[in-house]
A and B are shown apart, each in its own frame.
Chain A
């Protein structure tokens, strides 16, 4: 189950993401929370005290490749398990949190 939360600036996306994440984790599910906001503050909302910072997942974990049809697409250069263990932070209730990097407009999308 993969859920994204959107909405206008300041509407409560981060508060809702964090709280829903913790609730799902308390149901015994393994939950990965991803901060896709260039101004990350999901970590604090999840309950990791002030001052805790995550190393953002760097761009180098994806690579642009062309498939047989010449279509460009992005693929991971390493396994998801490696990314989670290298960049993931442990939050309460067994939640893992990853922080995306800032938007790089070149070639993004």
Chain B
């Protein structure tokens, strides 16, 4: 699958968003070669942050240009501060703090997209800021580390 997905990403002419499998061992050069940006999701607990922490040097070694952290399921300011501190210590730029959002739970329960369930949900607002940020930082027609 890695090479199939990698080849599709590399040949795609559209804005492309790839939902990856959890284990970072699968982050082979074949899959992520043409990716401009890797968003690493961190929950505010140790094993989740450690997984993210291991991903960053691997992604750098693969030549991915933009690597950003996204904190998710934060339940308190302390949660946010814990993820921020981890990212600072691991040289990972944190670009979003998404709270634990009941809209996600409710949307999942009814099998809907959260953006259809409630367009004003905190996760939608935070990811809108992420979209603004990415559109500023990355060329829309860019084509990853191995591209051009």
Contacts and interface: CB of A to CB of B under 8 A. Distances in A.
B76 interface: no
Contacts of B112: 47, 49
Interface string B120-146: 000110011011001100111111100
B61 interface: no
Contact of B142 (A2, A21, A46, A50): A2
A6 B55 contact: yes
B100 to A, nearest CB: 10
Interface residues of A, number: 62
Contact of B115 (A3, A10, A23, A100): A23
Contacts, number: 241
Interface residues of B, number: 71
**Which DSSP category, helix, strand, loop or mixed, fits chain A's interface?**
mixed
B26 to A, nearest CB: 7
Interface in A40-62: 42, 44-47, 49-50, 57, 59, 61-62
Nearest to B11: A80
Contact of B1 (A14, A16, A103): A103
Given A16-B70, A34-B8, A34-B18, A49 B111 contact: yes
Interface in A60-109: 61-62, 74-76, 79-80, 83, 92, 96, 98, 100-104, 108-109
A20 B128 CA distance: 7
B42 A33 contact: no
A37 B135 contact: no
Contacts of A5: 17-20, 38-39, 41
A44 B34 contact: no
Closest 5 CB pairs of A and B: A7-B41, A47-B113, A17-B19, A9-B22, A80-B11
Given A2-B9, A31-B17, 6 more contacts: A1-B140, A6-B39, A11-B48, A13-B41, A36-B20, A37-B21
23 contacts: A1-B37, A1-B140, A2-B36, A2-B142, A3-B38, A4-B17, A5-B19, A6-B27, A8-B22, A11-B42, A13-B19, A17-B18, A19-B127, A20-B17, A20-B39, A20-B131, A21-B17, A27-B131, A45-B114, A61-B4, A79-B11, A108-B3, A109-B2
